[in-house]
């Protein structure tokens, strides 16, 4: 099982701010989410869609949750409007992105459960939470 985060950025400043967060999320998920939690789904994919001056994405928040059993994939978008990210630094954004990823993963687990796919519900939640805690520690230090 793999949780993979990708990104689509609305302009260069949004990419400069969010791409390092995306990379670190992928590193943390790769370290912590290693079990066989689901019957046939092998990947959760979350696309960060970050609005900017060139592209604007709507609606804000989690969107477009889709299950592709033939491809063994569950995907969704996490959409960020231009505000508030344009007015905050990375350290203020880290807990927001972490909470948003927890929301997305929770929604994906629930969708997999409804499809009869979940084998190890609590272990998947625990491992994903460990990955997000490491993500926050990476940027914010041990104070988290």
pLDDT tens-digit readout, 10-34? 999 999 999 999 999 999 999 999 9
Please, what is the end-to-end C-alpha distance for the chain in angstroms? 27
- Domain assignments of the chain as residue spans, ordered by start: 2-136
Give dist(CA 14, CA 138) in Å, integer.
20
* Residue indicated by tokens 């505000």: 83
Question: Does the structure show a pLDDT above 90 at 143?
Answer: no
Whole-number pLDDT of residue 144: 45
Yes or no: say if 36 and 1 are a contact pair by the CB < 8 Å rule: yes
Whole-number pLDDT of residue 90: 87
Whole-number pLDDT of residue 49: 96
Topology annotation, domain 2-136? Collagenase (Catalytic Domain) (3.40.390)
Yes or no: say if 30 and 4 are a contact pair by the CB < 8 Å rule: no
Least Cα distance to 117 among 126, 127, 108 occurs for 108
Give dist(CA 69, CA 74) in Å, integer.
8
> What are residue 43's DSSP bridge partners?
2, 73
Strands 43-50 and 61-68: unpaired
Yes or no: say if 6 and 22 are a contact pair by the CB < 8 Å rule: yes
- The region of weakest confidence among 45-49, 82-86, 104-108, 137-141 is 82-86
pLDDT digits (tens, 9 = 90+) for 53-70: 999 998 889 999 999 988
> What are residue 47's DSSP bridge partners?
6, 77
pLDDT digits (tens, 9 = 90+) for 69-114: 889 999 999 999 887 777 788 889 999 999 999 999 999 999 999 9
DSSP string, 47-102: EEEE--SS----SSEEEEEEEETTTTEEEEEEEE-HHHHTTS-HHHHHHHHHHHHH
């Amino acid at each position: 099982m793999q949780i993979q985060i990708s990104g689509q950025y609305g302009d260069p400043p949004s990419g400069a701010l969010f791409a390092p967060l995306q990379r670190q999320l992928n590193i943390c998920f790769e370290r912590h989410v290693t079990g066989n939690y689901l019957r046939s789904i092998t990947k959760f994919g979350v696309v960060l869609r970050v609005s900017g001056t060139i592209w604007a994405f709507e609606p804000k928040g989690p969107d477009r949750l889709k299950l592709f059993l033939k491809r063994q994939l569950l995907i969704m978008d996490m959409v960020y409007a231009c505000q508030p990210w344009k007015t905050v630094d990375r350290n203020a954004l880290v807990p927001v992105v972490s909470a948003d990823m927890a929301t997305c993963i929770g929604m994906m687990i629930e969708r997999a459960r409804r499809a009869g796919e979940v084998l190890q519900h609590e272990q998947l939640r625990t491992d994903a939470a460990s990955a997000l805690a490491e993500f926050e520690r990476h940027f914010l230090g041990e104070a988290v």
